[in-house]
């Protein structure tokens, strides 16, 4: 069996699961325990970087280690799964960088993505998060659905 038949589905599942993990961290950790760092993201940027950027690299060492393990370990199912985890985390991180930092906050020249209705909804939902003074939706790629859920639940946008 080809190793790609293992790590590709694992990578796709992990990339999708990372959105749920990021949503949980954003709502339960960034907006509480790590608010001192994260609040810089909710203020007008002064310069190229903000303190919150430190939070974006927390998962990179794990992804790098998983990919390296997949490259050097003896062939096994575990090696392929771990490699897939690293690739999936990296895929999510790259997508998050392009959509969040690029499309939503204009730090990369990818505004053409807004021509795709889904990405325009993702951008708009995240901007609601900022307009509401550090409240939901906390997801990025699931932000439009999270916002719709909060609106149905309370009769008004997330608060």
What is the per-residue pLDDT across 26-64, written as a single tens digit (0 to 9) for each? 999 999 999 999 999 988 888 888 999 898 889 999 999
pLDDT at 131: 85
pLDDT band at 1 (very low <50, low <70, confident <90, very high): low
Structure pTM?
0.90
**Residue 46: CA count within 13 A, CB half-sphere:** 3
Tokens of 17: 């699961």
Tell me if 136 sits within 8 A of 158, measured CB to CB. Answer: yes
Q: Quickly count: other Cβ atoms within 10 Å of residue 43's Cβ.
A: 11
As a whole number of angstroms, the distance between CA 46 and CA 87 comes to 33
pLDDT digits (tens, 9 = 90+) for 76-110: 999 999 999 999 999 999 999 999 999 999 999 99
């Amino acid at each position: 069996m080809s190793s790609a038949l293992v790590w590709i589905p694992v990578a796709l599942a992990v990339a999708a699961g990372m959105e749920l993990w990021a949503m949980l961290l954003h709502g339960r950790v960034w907006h509480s325990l790590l608010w001192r760092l994260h609040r810089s993201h909710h203020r007008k940027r002064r310069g190229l970087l903000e303190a919150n950027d430190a939070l974006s690299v927390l998962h990179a060492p794990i992804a790098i280690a998983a990919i390296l393990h997949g490259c050097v370990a003896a062939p096994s199912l575990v090696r392929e799964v771990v490699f897939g985890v690293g690739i999936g985390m990296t895929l999510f991180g790259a997508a998050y960088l392009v959509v969040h930092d690029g499309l939503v906050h204009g730090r990369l020249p990818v505004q053409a993505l807004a021509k795709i209705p889904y990405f325009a909804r993702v951008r708009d939902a995240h901007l609601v998060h900022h307009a509401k003074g550090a409240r939901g939706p906390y997801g990025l790629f699931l932000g439009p659905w999270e916002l719709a859920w909060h609106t149905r639940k309370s009769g008004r946008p997330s608060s």
